[in-house]
Amino acid sequence: MSAAERSRANVVSTYRLQLQPEFDFDAAAAVVPYLARLGVTHLYLSPILQATPGSTHGYDVVDHTRLSADLGGQPAFDRLVEAAHEAGLGVVVDVVPNHMAVPTPLHLNAKLWAVLRDGPSSPYARWFDVDWSLQAGTGHGAILMPVLGDRIGQCVERGEITLDQHDGAPIIRYFDHVFPVRPGTEHLPLAELLDMQFYRLAFWRIADEELNYRRFFDIDTLAAIRVEDPTVFAASHDLLVRLHREGKVDGYRIDHPDGLADPRGYLRRLAEATGDSWVAAEKILEADEPLPEDWPCAGTTGYDALWRVQSLFVDPDGAAPLLRQWTSLTGEPETLQPVVDEAKRYIVDQVLAAEVVRLVELVMAMGEHDINLRDFTRRRLTRALGELLVAFDVYRAYVHPGEPLAPEAEEIVRAAAVRATGAAPDLADEIEFLVGVALGSHRSAAARALQDEFCVRFQQTTGPVMAKGIEDTAFYRWFPLVSLCEVGAPADRFGIAEDTFHEWAARATARHPAAMTTLSTHDTKRTEDVRARLGVLSELPSVWEHTVSALREATAAYRPEPLDPATEYLLWQILVGAWPIEADRLVEFVTKATREAKRHTTWTEPNAAYDEAVTGFARAVVADENVVRLVRAFVDTIAPYDRANVLGQKLVQLTCTGVPDVYQGTELRSLTLVDPDNRRPVDFTERVRLLDRLDAGDSGASSGGASSDGDASEGDSLDAEKLLVTAATLRCRAAHPDRFVGPDAGYTPLETTSPHALGFLRGGAVATVVTRLSAGLAAAGGWGSATVDLPAGSWTDEFTGQRVDGGKVRLDRLLAQRPVALLVRADDPAA
């Protein structure tokens, strides 16, 4: 095994901590003893660099040279590292290479402040991806700053924009927004002074159409940086690399590398700077898309594992009845693709219009340099580009300007072109022309630089269209089973066959044995346990249909007229999936869901009447005793199957392949929703108390379902059981790391005689056996004489202490106490 492989093998499991001012480095250090006892090998920290003061997530970095003062700065970070090392834990940190914050006040980002003051001549101008060709009145470039609440003339006339001072230097002030003054222009009349700046103050509504700096997705307050520039990479990563060199950081999670000009080049540079440290890349793989083989990283952050693990506990036979119920209640289409196409087209036309304009202008400029590339109109090219972007079905095709075209990349682009041409046959010529530019086929010497720029920017745009169109729009419009609507997941794929899962897990183990796997993250739309409970609906669609009918009947008298049926159906699923849920949390969720759907209301143009109708209904149903009775009855009915799903998918995630991450708090049942709900502080005191009980021999768990109480309590057996499964499995991994991430950590399916059991072997000596589709198992009368075939030897269940001999083991005996088993062979030479 190489040094790099040994380094990666050291990361055996991670625990994600969401740092924020209320949970800083010292607070993280305080929970290290608990996490060490839990069995994890590495802390996995959210971004640690200086972000906008008060940031609750850290992705809005303003200074790459400092550790966050809000989190305690370098001294507190060093104390955290020391505590981790004393407990035998390593540290992995989240890295944000794509963007920096455009903060308020703006001078908090000193580099961007300098660029706005000094323009293209600033030494920091190379940091930001700005189109300086857009001209202000005096002929120099102007960065659009869309912060005004009205057109600029109206703001000036009302006296809202003024000349002021900050630290002895002149500034332009607009309420809380401040901007530097270009040296030598401070004595001009205000209107002339504004025209002479290297930025253009503008009405916020024009941002989507005229923004001339690349941003993170559609977020104007996150300006993209050009980390492909070696100078920018070195400056923005110097501190992070130094922490690795000093032994304080062992690995990195890379935020959205597909947004970079050259993801592969970035990862290569990082690997070189850190001696090929462990790196997990947040690459969203669609369906069976593989990770690029030339990326020097351990693998992805695990969304590809998430949907597959979850799908084991979704019944494909439930698809037809759930789809019928969906269309009957909502009138929405039964198939997902039309909804995706509509949503992506909205994103292209409305949200990312500025990015489309910039791409079209590049193509038009190519024609100015090469007569063979002329006579395409802006209007038709804009339409054709929109169709091509909508037709893309992966985040990115990896075309590298100046290198031979990879067949896989060409196939992706040409397949999208076929779909785009089918949707708009009158644009066939324009689409074919754009494909040639995107693939680097038009190698005109005069236009080469422009074509290379188009090639890169096109690839930086397909990802945001996918993310904003599917995950942040379509998944809030189409949800026959909302638990399937997750990042990177095929939401119209109900369930996965055992053989298909085994094939994927074996392939992933062979290709990326140290990739991250996950079930919950700071970006998932529902935590693993909400999704586990909702998965039961696929097994009991008729019971669910009757429950929804009863809920609709109970609320008919006060259902508001503006409430659309799809939103109502979403609310019923969330109410059941996250029960018990407080009114404020439910209101927060439906507000976000309806605005992300962008049908009746949006973040930028909220519909007050619709918003009030939805939130009022949400509050009313939580307060309605009949609704509460119906929801409780349904949750109690499915509790045994919910329990099997919660424990089963957790055990599979922790053992199937790669390096499992436990998102903060999810070692107990966690019924939280999309951010910011899933980023709330975690009660570690309760977790320590419960772990103490478990280690003292009191599992606090019976074989029954969980209580209806959403918080950990003495009576909540599912909390205790999930903690037991998590801790015992993590400890097993820590004790036998080579069985899970080493060169001998193979993946071998175990033969079972029941479709309701899934088993596999890791490293030849650790076996996982779980119950799946347990409602169907109950309907069939139980296990009967079904068996799982274990290799020869003596095996011990880490959860119960039960000992069994290899061979055909009866499932009714093995899983009598719990629906899951983790078996370790007694004669394991690693033991």
pLDDT at residue 1 is higher than 60: no
- Asked whether the beta carbons of 39 and 731 are under 8 A apart, the reply is yes
Task: State residue 228's pLDDT score.
Answer: 97
Closest among 413, 419, 415 to 454, alpha carbons compared: 413
Q: Which fold has domain 3-98+227-301?
A: TIM Barrel (3.20.20)
Per-residue model confidence as pLDDT tens digits over 321-339: 999 999 999 999 999 999 9
Nearest 5°: the CA angle 658, 659, 662 is 135
Closest among 393, 397, 505, 412 to 762, alpha carbons compared: 505
CA atoms of 160 and 153, how far apart (whole Å): 10
Tell me the mean pLDDT in the region 284-306.
Answer: 96
CA atoms of 517 and 501, how far apart (whole Å): 14
Q: Which fold has domain 106-224?
A: Maltooligosyl trehalose synthase, domain 2 (3.30.1590)
Strand 757-762 versus strand 803-810 pairing type: unpaired
Task: State residue 428's pLDDT score.
Answer: 97
pLDDT at residue 830 is higher than 80: no
Closest among 537, 539, 526, 543 to 581, alpha carbons compared: 526
- 242's enclosing H/E stretch is helix 230-245
- At 212, list the tokens: 């001339």
Task: State residue 287's pLDDT score.
Answer: 85
What amino acid is encoded at 89 in this protein?
L
pLDDT at residue 170 is higher than 70: yes
Closest among 707, 583, 592, 691 to 639, alpha carbons compared: 707
CA atoms of 145 and 128, how far apart (whole Å): 14
CA atoms of 393 and 419, how far apart (whole Å): 10
Least confident of 85-99, 451-465, 713-727: 713-727
Q: How many CB atoms lie within 10 A of CB 622?
A: 20
Task: State residue 742's pLDDT score.
Answer: 82
- Percent of the chain with pLDDT strictly greater than 70: 95
Task: State residue 244's pLDDT score.
Answer: 97
- Asked whether the beta carbons of 729 and 13 are under 8 A apart, the reply is no
Per-residue model confidence as pLDDT tens digits over 3-31: 334 344 489 999 999 999 999 999 999 99
Per-residue model confidence as pLDDT tens digits over 401-422: 999 999 999 999 999 999 999 9
Q: List every span in the chain annotated with CATH 3.30.1590.10.
A: 106-224
Tell me the mean pLDDT in the region 73-94.
Answer: 98
pLDDT at residue 134 is higher than 70: no
**Partners of 769 in beta bridges:** 759, 821
Per-residue model confidence as pLDDT tens digits over 782-814: 999 999 999 999 999 999 999 999 999 999 999
Q: How many CB atoms lie within 10 A of CB 751?
A: 11
**Following DSSP, what letter does each residue of 153-185 receive, concatenated?**
HHHHHTT-EEEEEETTEEEEEETTEEEE--TT-
What amino acid is encoded at 152 in this protein?
I
CA atoms of 376 and 582, how far apart (whole Å): 56
pLDDT at residue 716 is higher than 70: no
Strand 42-45 versus strand 90-95 pairing type: parallel
Task: State residue 677's pLDDT score.
Answer: 95
Q: Could you tell me how many residues make up the chain?
A: 831
| Structure-token match 């006296």, residue found | 159
Task: State residue 138's pLDDT score.
Answer: 40
What is the layout of strands, in order, in the sheet containing 99-101? Answer: 99-101, 219-224, 215-216
Q: List every span in the chain annotated with CATH 3.20.20.80.
A: 3-98+227-301
Q: List every span in the chain annotated with CATH 2.60.40.1180.
A: 747-825
747-825: CATH class: mainly beta
Per-residue model confidence as pLDDT tens digits over 194-208: 999 999 999 999 988
Task: State residue 368's pLDDT score.
Answer: 87
Per-residue model confidence as pLDDT tens digits over 762-775: 999 999 999 999 99
Strand 516-517 versus strand 659-663 pairing type: parallel
CA dihedral (81, 87, 90, 95) in degrees, to 10, reads -50
| Residue 482 or 711, more confident | 482
- 51's enclosing H/E stretch is strand 49-51
pLDDT at residue 708 is higher than 60: no
